[in-house]
Amino acid sequence: MLKLLKLTRVSPKILASHRAGDLTPEHVQAFASSDDIERKEQVFEAFNPDYTDADDNRSELKPEGDISATDKRVVHVGIEAYVKTGGKTRSDPFTESTFLLDPELLDELTARKLGTPQETEIYVR
C-alpha cells in the first residue's frame, strides 16, 4: 500500500515520460522514493536515460545528511539504540533501505559507545 501511495506523488512529467517509454518502472520508483517535489523536478530535468540508472536517481534524490543503515557508525551503534534515543528514520519502500535522519545524534551515540577521549587516553598510556 505504501508503494502505491508513494507512486501517486510522482509528477505528471515523470509519468508522461514513463508512458512514452523513456523511463523504466525502476526509474519511476526511484523518483517516488523522495518526497521533495522540487528536487525531483531538478533531477528529472538533468536526467538522461542513456547514462542514468535508477540507483543514480536515488542517490541524487537522497537528502543531504541522510545516513544509510549500512554506515559503519549505524552498524556499531545499532538502529534500535538510535531510535530509542529519539532518532528518526525513513525507509524507501521500493528498495527496503533505511536511512537515519539525525547525523548529530548518530555521531553523539557513536562517541559515547567508543568512550570519551579522556577514557580512551587511559588505555593508550
pLDDT in tens, 3-41: 777 888 888 889 999 999 988 999 999 888 888 888 888
pLDDT of residue 56: 86
Enter the pTM of the model: 0.68
Encode burial over 71-100: b for 16+ CB neighbours within 10 A, e otherwise: eebbeebeeeebeeeebebeebbbeebbbb
Higher pLDDT, 117 or 12: 12
Q: Does the pLDDT value for residue 122 go beyond 80?
A: no
Beta bridge partners of 89: 100
Centre a 10 Å sphere on the Cβ of residue 65 and count the other Cβ atoms it contains.
Answer: 11
Centre a 10 Å sphere on the Cβ of residue 10 and count the other Cβ atoms it contains.
Answer: 21
